[in-house]
Chains A and B, each alone.
Chain A
Amino acid sequence: MTDATPLTPPASQSAFALEPPAPAQPVAATQAPAMAPRIDEAALPGLNAKVSAYVDGLLAVQPGSPELAAKADDVRLMGEADIRTAADSSNRLLQVPVRELREGGVSGTSQVSRSLLDLRRTVEDLDPAEASVGRKLLGIIPFGSQLTDYFRRYESAQKQLDAIVRALYDGQDELRKDNAALNLEKQRLWETMGRLNQYVYVAERLDTQLSAKIAEIEVSDPARADSLRKDVLFYVRQKHQDLLTQLVVSIQGYLAVDIILKNNIELIKGVDRATTTTVSALRTAVLVAQALNNQKLVLDQITALNTTTSGMIASTSKMLKDQSATIQQQAASSTLGLPQLQQAFADIYATMESIDEFKVKALDSMAQTVGVLQAETTKAQAYLDRVSRDDAPAREGLSSSSSLDLGGS
């Protein structure tokens, strides 16, 4: 039986800090299939059967005949629709981080950024450390009328602070809506990557089986083997490469979207913290005014613990409750004075600074991600250009399909 030694409390949280996610690294084509969604076990037999059927059919066909050309077409057109979709969407995906840089949550023009600047200006006006209270006041027992004037400023600032906090909540809403749309984008990308990965598997298997058969035929019928190599195997390998290129682009896009999502979440946390420290400072001000000056600050309901949050546990209300408990404790122990108020304001400044630091790092990381994504998109574009150049005369207006296509997209 263990001793009843008291547990040690967990280490107190260090200063509030926001972590931006690292920028996306380039993805090598060889890594791509491992990173993409794994192929469902149940689908493998079907894919294997497709490949076997194709190879058997290929071997039964006469060399040089139109049927052989048709078989070769099957390879060239395999997965065409999916590749086009992926290539087209890669351009759209590139726009997402570019737009984020310009007008997203971490940019200087977002609702959140503007409101935080407003908050800083208003808080600077109220700061008890500012010269407007009088440096000489601090440390000496403050005089009645100067202190009264100082605290009265809170009453006039109240409306403005309310407006700013609401604007911050609106900014959070924008970030959340952004994330909802991005999550849908992620979902679509995931599905595209899944299909591309299946095609990669088919292409690899085709390559292996075809190479083996060609090696067999080489001995007895070198001309046929050669024709198969030139007319079919070549396209199999080319298709494999194209698929890998598109898969890499999709993966890169997926990672970029993920980075933006994480940035937004961190910023939402930052705004939560900014609003709670602000409201908490106001509560402290009310109590300090009472303690120091016997001045009843008329701030609407600010001291009332927000009991309307029953059943709606949000991290914010919990933070507010915790901070209120600390303030009430301090008030009860009659150590409440200007230093406590200064500390409350220091908390607001610390929060705003950590948000600023975060934004700088996040913007930097996003710019790097854009660079990487741009390189991949160029490769994808090169593929589109080649395909439209090669196939345009032959297939104008015809939808492309192949016997090797996966059903139903």
Chain B
Amino acid sequence: MSWFGDVVDRLRGRPRPAELPSAPAAPPTSAEILASVRGVEQQVAGRVPAAVVARVHGIARTIEDMAPRLDRFGVGSRQAHTVVATATSYLPEAVGGYLRLPREFADRRVVSHGKTSLMVLCDQLDLLGVTLDKISDAVSREDAQALVAHGQFLAEKFGESALAITPDLGPGAARGEGL
């Protein structure tokens, strides 16, 4: 309906904001996110030490777990953005920066505060992994809470009160005891 607003505005002589390419790019879909992560995994295969490979796989697993649950986060959620940005930007950039360096230089030369590029990369991957785990954990805990709440609902509806008097089963039941 914004075209109508345009016409109304023009009739009223209200200044229009500068013309822009219309809508912002749609955020990446689930498939694109997963494709980006798999791309990184393929990039590192055989080219980096095992420590890096293990960390990249860990992050990839977490993102794969979270991808189907992203729409649970709601409009403008920072966590959703973190997960998506990790897959499409933070992880590829970290790994890409490392891969651009010659292996010898990256693995042995100290570049910052006594650490080699390899150690710097591992630190970054650890940080990403921990952050994603926290987010994933929080979402799972919320789901678990829903389950617990459901259990309480069922217990309240169907459970027995401690004060209930057990119905008398009749004389036959008493003889049946002990068998």
Using a CB–CB distance below 8 Å, which chain A residues touch chain B?
Answer: 114-115, 117-118, 120-121, 124-125, 130-132, 153, 158-167, 169-170, 173, 275, 278-279, 282, 299-302, 304, 306-312, 314, 316-317
Contact = CB atoms under 8 A, between A and B. Distances in A.
Given A131-B8, A167-B25, A308-B138, 8 more contacts: A117-B17, A125-B1, A162-B75, A169-B81, A300-B71, A301-B74, A301-B75, A310-B141
B76 A279 contact: yes
B23 interface: yes
A118 B81 CA distance: 18
Interface string B1-22: 1101100100000000110100
Contacts of A314: 78
A121 B75 contact: no
A282 B78 contact: no
22 contacts: A114-B20, A115-B24, A121-B2, A124-B5, A159-B26, A161-B76, A162-B27, A162-B76, A163-B23, A163-B26, A163-B27, A170-B85, A173-B85, A279-B76, A300-B74, A306-B77, A306-B79, A308-B135, A308-B138, A309-B138, A312-B79, A317-B78
A229 B53 CA distance: 67
A309 B77 CA distance: 10
Given A132-B5, A163-B27, A173-B89, A300 B138 contact: no
Nearest to A132: B5
Shortest 8 CB-CB contacts between residues of A and residues of B: A301-B74, A165-B76, A308-B138, A169-B81, A167-B24, A163-B24, A162-B75, A279-B76
B139 interface: yes
B74 A302 contact: yes
B175 interface: no
B157 interface: no
Interface residues of B, number: 33
Given A160-B23, A279-B76, A300-B74, A312 B134 contact: yes
Nearest to B79: A308
A210 to B, nearest CB: 41
Most chain A CB within 10 A, of B5, B23, B79, B81, is at: B81
Contacts of B85: 169-170, 173
B1 A117 contact: no
Contacts of B26: 159, 163
A306 B17 contact: no
B100 interface: no
Nearest to A312: B134
B20 A282 contact: no
Contacts of A317: 78
A322 to B, nearest CB: 16
A399 to B, nearest CB: 23
Contacts of A173: 85, 89
B123 interface: no
B76 A120 contact: no
B66 to A, nearest CB: 11
A353 to B, nearest CB: 13
Interface string B27-69: 1000000000000000000000000000000000000000000
A169 B77 CA distance: 10
Given A163-B26, A169-B85, A308-B135, A299 B75 contact: yes
B73 A308 contact: yes
A319 B81 CA distance: 18
Contact of A302 (B72, B75, B79): B75
Nearest to A114: B20
B25 to A, nearest CB: 7
A158 B75 contact: yes
Contacts of A164: 24
A173 B93 CA distance: 13
B1 to A, nearest CB: 7
A164 B24 CA distance: 6
A113 to B, nearest CB: 10
B19 to A, nearest CB: 10
Contacts of B25: 163, 167
Contacts of A306: 74, 77, 79
A301 B17 contact: no
Contacts of B71: 300
B73 to A, nearest CB: 7
Nearest to A316: B78
A132 to B, nearest CB: 6
A153 B1 contact: yes
B17 A169 contact: no
A409 to B, nearest CB: 16
Nearest to A153: B1
Contacts of B73: 301, 308
